[in-house]
């Protein structure tokens, strides 16, 4: 198998690439964004992309591009990838939607909802406000997660318990942040009831069609492709908000697999180009979430902002969580804020909260007993803002009965 586009190809690679190249030459409204460089005629195709971008400016989208690229510079964002995947065909002037997905686990069923997910909510809210976007969706992917049933501890009941509980926790956040009128969280299995027959039909038909694509490589990829197609690749297009760990390194001349959003996004781009379909999706990325303590190699471990397998190694979105205690212990033992990524990531969340929600700086003591303690204290205040009294505790006890906050 050859790996490219973060996808494993068999013998059909040349056929797929040839068809995509032909489609792009025949249809200047197709879009591959920065993946154009993978084609032999990449320079010619890049010229096409520049013309596309200029057409977007001509349509009055230039001011949106400026705002989008400015947001990409925020400490919580992955700038280079976000800028590279701004799509000139996204109709920003028509208030397009935004969405991000939340899975229930891949190695095992999720054991807690991390504080890190606030990066995606707050980054999404900043994009919504500055780009004047329409509805923002959080899709809790219970149907995708169910493809794991039969391994580890995945059961239908367990998946429903975890993702229903996480939905309830996220709804508390949206309500306390005062943005519940602009955001909607829902279970993937509730797609039809929430979004209606028309979008549900697009979703189901895309799953069936994408499953047959020679490069899809798994039903879970077809499902996320379908969610993206239905929610943010209709007439207006939209933004799919993801998270970024690292660029794919070249290994033996081929790409190595990366466990972030990139393999999923690559399939949407390939699928639309292979099928000669419009692509109006802009892909924005926050930085990945973090484990608090170094891995076996002594390096920082970056993880999905919404997945947690080791509650003791994450800051949890829990009313009794103690960021100062946890981050203090991690930092003093060589992890925590010793890593620039961790410091910038959590500081970025605090900055967005202060700007968008509190509209003033969180005041905390200047004295520190460990580097970054002031950031940890701000995180503590954010949790207090979200959870008042015992709010959220019952949800946690029901959703994650085996998880104890240290």
Residue 255: predicted pLDDT: 45
Q: How far is CA 250 from CA 33, 243, 267, 294, 388, in A?
A: 20, 21, 19, 25, 48
The model's pLDDT over 8-35, given as tens digits with 9 standing for 90+, comes to 666 677 788 889 888 888 887 788 888 7
| 3-state helix, strand and coil shares in percent for the chain, rounded to the nearest 5 | 50, 10, 35
The pair of three-digit structure tokens given for residue 281, joined into one six-digit string? 């999706």
Percent of the chain with pLDDT over 70: 90
Is 309:107 a contact under the CB 8 Å cutoff?
yes
Furthest-apart CA atoms within the chain: distance in Å: 63
Residue 40: predicted pLDDT: 52
Q: Which has the closest alpha carbon to 48: 92, 6, 88?
A: 88
Q: Are strands 238-244 and 281-287 parallel, antiparallel or unpaired?
A: parallel
On average, the pLDDT of the chain sits at 91
**Which residues fall within 8 angstroms of residue 360, CB to CB, at 6 or more apart?**
354
Residue 72: predicted pLDDT: 98
The pair of three-digit structure tokens given for residue 289, joined into one six-digit string? 């979430």
List phi, psi (to 5°) of 57: -65, -40
List phi, psi (to 5°) of 162: -65, -50
Interior/surface letters 338-355, b for 16+ CB within 10 angstroms, e for the rest: bbeebbbbbbbbbbbbbb
Domain with residues 2-287, CATH architecture: 3-Layer(aba) Sandwich (3.40)
Query: What are the extents of the domains in the chain?
Result: 2-287, 309-399
The model's pLDDT over 234-266, given as tens digits with 9 standing for 90+, comes to 999 999 999 998 765 544 444 444 567 888 999
**Top mean-pLDDT range of 81-90, 266-275, 342-351:** 342-351
| Residue 175 pLDDT > 80 | yes
Cα separation, 98 vs 267, in Å, equals 19
| Residue 399 pLDDT > 50 | yes
**Which residues fall within 8 angstroms of residue 165, CB to CB, at 6 or more apart?**
395, 396, 398, 399, 400
Give me the mean pLDDT over the 198-222 stretch.
Answer: 95
Q: Of 257 and 290, which is predicted with more confidence? A: 290
- The H or E element that residue 298 is part of is none
Is 282:86 a contact under the CB 8 Å cutoff?
yes
Cα separation, 353 vs 173, in Å, equals 12
Residue 275: predicted pLDDT: 95
Residue 333: predicted pLDDT: 95
Cα separation, 109 vs 158, in Å, equals 8
| Residue 299 pLDDT > 50 | yes
| Residue 54 pLDDT > 80 | no
The pair of three-digit structure tokens given for residue 75, joined into one six-digit string? 């400490």
Q: Which has the closest alpha carbon to 185: 234, 233, 230, 135?
A: 135
pTM of the model: 0.93
| Residue 43 pLDDT > 70 | no
Percent of the chain with pLDDT over 90: 76
Residue 118: predicted pLDDT: 98
| Residue 318 pLDDT > 80 | yes
Residue 251: predicted pLDDT: 41
| Residue 51 pLDDT > 80 | no
The pair of three-digit structure tokens given for residue 171, joined into one six-digit string? 């709804």
Give Cα 14 distance to the centre of its chain: 30
- The H or E element that residue 258 is part of is none
**Top mean-pLDDT range of 24-28, 85-89, 270-274, 314-318:** 314-318
């Amino acid at each position: 198998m050859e790996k490219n586009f973060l996808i494993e190809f068999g013998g059909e690679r040349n056929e797929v690439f040839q068809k995509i190249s032909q489609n792009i030459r025949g249809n200047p409204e197709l879009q591959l964004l920065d993946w154009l460089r993978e084609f032999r005629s990449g320079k010619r195709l890049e010229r096409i992309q520049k013309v596309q971008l200029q057409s977007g400016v001509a349509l009055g989208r230039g001011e949106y591009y400026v705002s989008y690229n400015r947001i990409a510079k925020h400490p919580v964002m992955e700038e280079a990838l976000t800028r590279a995947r701004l799509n000139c065909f996204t109709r920003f002037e028509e208030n397009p939607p935004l969405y991000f997905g939340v899975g229930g686990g891949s190695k095992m069923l999720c054991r807690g909802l991390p504080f890190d997910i606030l990066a995606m909510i707050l980054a999404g809210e900043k994009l919504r406000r500055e780009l004047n976007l329409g509805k923002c969706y959080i899709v809790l992917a219970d149907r995708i997660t169910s493809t794991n049933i039969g391994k580890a501890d995945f059961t239908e009941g367990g998946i429903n318990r975890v993702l229903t509980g996480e939905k309830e926790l996220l709804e508390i956040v949206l309500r306390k942040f005062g943005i519940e009128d602009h955001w909607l969280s829902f279970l993937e299995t509730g797609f039809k009831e929430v979004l209606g027959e028309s979008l549900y039909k697009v979703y189901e038909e895309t799953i069936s069609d994408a499953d047959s694509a020679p490069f899809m490589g798994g039903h879970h990829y077809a499902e996320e492709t379908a969610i993206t197609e239905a929610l943010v690749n209709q007439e207006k297009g939209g933004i799919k908000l993801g998270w970024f760990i690292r660029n794919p390194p070249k290994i033996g001349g081929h790409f190595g697999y990366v466990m972030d959003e990139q393999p999923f996004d690559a399939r949407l781009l390939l699928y639309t180009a292979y099928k000669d379909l419009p692509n109006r999706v802009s892909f924005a990325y926050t930085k990945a979430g973090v484990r608090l303590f170094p891995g076996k190699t002594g390096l920082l471990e970056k993880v999905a902002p919404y997945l947690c397998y080791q509650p003791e190694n994450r800051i949890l979105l829990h009313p009794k969580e103690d960021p100062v205690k946890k981050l203090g212990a991690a930092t003093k033992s060589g992890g925590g804020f010793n890593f620039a990524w961790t410091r910038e990531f959590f500081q970025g969340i605090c900055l967005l909260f202060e700007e968008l929600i509190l509209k003033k700086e969180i005041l905390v003591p200047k004295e520190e007993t460990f580097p970054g303690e002031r950031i940890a204290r701000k995180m503590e205040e954010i949790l207090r803002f979200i959870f008042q009294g015992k709010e959220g505790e019952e949800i946690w006890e029901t959703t994650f009965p085996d998880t104890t906050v240290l």
